[in-house]
Amino acid sequence: MSSFLAYCKSHRGMVFTQYQMLRAQRQLCDVSLIVDGNEFPAHKSLLACSSDYFRAMFKDYTKESKATVIHLKVISSTGLQTILDFIYTSWLSLSLNTLEDTLEAASYLQVLDAIPLCSQFLINTCDFESCCYSANIASKFYLTDALTEAEKYIINNLWRLLQEDLCDIELLELNVKSMINFIKSNDIPRVSEKCLLTLVLNWLQYDNTRLAYAKVLFDNIRYALLPLDILRKLYTQTDVPLTASIKCMIIKAINYHSAPSRQPLLQDKYSTLRNQKGWIMLVGGTANETFVENMLGFDVYSHKWRSVTTLPLKVQHHCTCVIGNFLYVLGGETPERPQNGTKDATLAVTNIVYRYDPRFDQWLQVSCMLEHRAQFSCCVVDKYIFAIGGRGDQQTLLSSVELYDINRDTWTKSKDLPFKMHGHASTVHNNIIYISGGKTDTQVNSCKDVYLLNRLEGQWKKQAPMSIARFGHQMATVKDSIFTFLGIYEPFSDIEKYEPKHNQWTRLRPLPFDRFCYGLVVVEQTVLLLGGKKWQDAQEVPTQNIVGYDTENDRWEEICSLAFPFSGLQCSVLKLSDITESNEKFSKAYTLKKSTISSGIEE
SS (H, E, C) 30-67: CEEEEECCEEEEECHHHHHHHCHHHHHHCCCCCHHHHC
What is the dihedral sign for C-alpha 260, 267, 281, 527? positive
Average per-residue pLDDT in the chain?
88
SS3 99: helix
Q: What is the DSSP string of 201-269?
A: HHHHHHSGGGGGGHHHHHTTS-GGGS-HHHHHHHHH--SS---HHHHHHHHHHHHHHH-GGGGGGG-SG
Are 146 and 161 in contact, with CB atoms under 8 Å apart?
A: no
Q: Which of 37-41, 338-342, 366-370, 579-583 has the highest mean pLDDT?
A: 366-370
Over residues 247-251, the mean pLDDT reads 96
Q: Which H or E run contains 156?
A: helix 144-161
Count of domains forming the chain: 2
Residue 243 vs residue 10, higher pLDDT: 243
> CB neighbours (10 Å) of residue 231?
21
Residue 581 has pLDDT above 60, yes or no: no
Are 180 and 213 in contact, with CB atoms under 8 Å apart?
A: yes
Residue 514 vs residue 550, higher pLDDT: 550
Q: Which of 74-88, 312-326, 564-578 has the highest mean pLDDT?
A: 312-326
38 DSSP β-pair partners: 35
Residue pLDDT, tens place only, 325-350: 999 999 999 998 765 555 567 899 99
Euclidean distance between CA atoms 456 and 552, whole angstroms: 32
Confidence label for 586 from pLDDT (cuts 50, 70 and 90): very low
What pTM did the predictor assign?
A: 0.87
Domain of 439, in residue numbers: 306-571
For residue 595, tell me if it sits in a domain: no
Q: Which of 25-29, 217-221, 289-293 has the highest mean pLDDT?
A: 217-221
* φ, ψ at 563 (rounded to 5°): -70, -25
The domain boundary, picked from 101, 125, 149, lies at 125
For residue 79, tell me if it sits in a domain: yes
Euclidean distance between CA atoms 603 and 600, whole angstroms: 8
Which CATH number characterizes residue 78's domain? 3.30.710.10
For residue 138, tell me if it sits in a domain: no
Residue pLDDT, tens place only, 297-325: 999 999 999 999 999 999 999 999 999 99
For residue 356, tell me if it sits in a domain: yes
Give the model's pLDDT for residue 597: 31
Give the model's pLDDT for residue 582: 38
> CB neighbours (10 Å) of residue 556?
18
Over residues 95-121, the mean pLDDT reads 94
379 DSSP β-pair partners: 386
For residue 255, tell me if it sits in a domain: no
Euclidean distance between CA atoms 363 and 372, whole angstroms: 20
Closest listed residue to residue 550, CA positions, set 497, 598, 498: 497
Confidence label for 18 from pLDDT (cuts 50, 70 and 90): low
Kindly give, in sequence order, each residue whose CB lies less than 8 Å from that of residue 61, ignoring residues fewer than 6 positions away. none
Strand-strand pairing, 347-357 and 294-299: unpaired
Residue 105 has pLDDT above 50, yes or no: yes
Over residues 450-454, the mean pLDDT reads 96
Give the model's pLDDT for residue 579: 60
Over residues 519-528, the mean pLDDT reads 94
Are 495 and 485 in contact, with CB atoms under 8 Å apart?
A: yes
For residue 174, tell me if it sits in a domain: no
The domain boundary, picked from 107, 125, 143, lies at 125
Which CATH number characterizes residue 487's domain? 2.120.10.80
Q: How many residues does the chain have?
A: 603
Give the model's pLDDT for residue 63: 74
Q: Which of 7-16, 275-284, 341-350 has the lowest mean pLDDT?
A: 7-16
For residue 527, tell me if it sits in a domain: yes
Give the model's pLDDT for residue 13: 60
Are 172 and 182 in contact, with CB atoms under 8 Å apart?
A: no
Give the model's pLDDT for residue 415: 94
3-state SS record for 516-527: ECCEEEEECCEE
Residue 22 vs residue 46, higher pLDDT: 46
For residue 535, tell me if it sits in a domain: yes
Give the model's pLDDT for residue 17: 65
- CA dihedral (6, 11, 15, 18) in degrees, to 10, reads -140
Residue 602 has pLDDT above 90, yes or no: no
Strand-strand pairing, 294-299 and 570-576: unpaired
The domain boundary, picked from 92, 125, 158, lies at 125
Residue 90 has pLDDT above 90, yes or no: no
Give the model's pLDDT for residue 29: 77
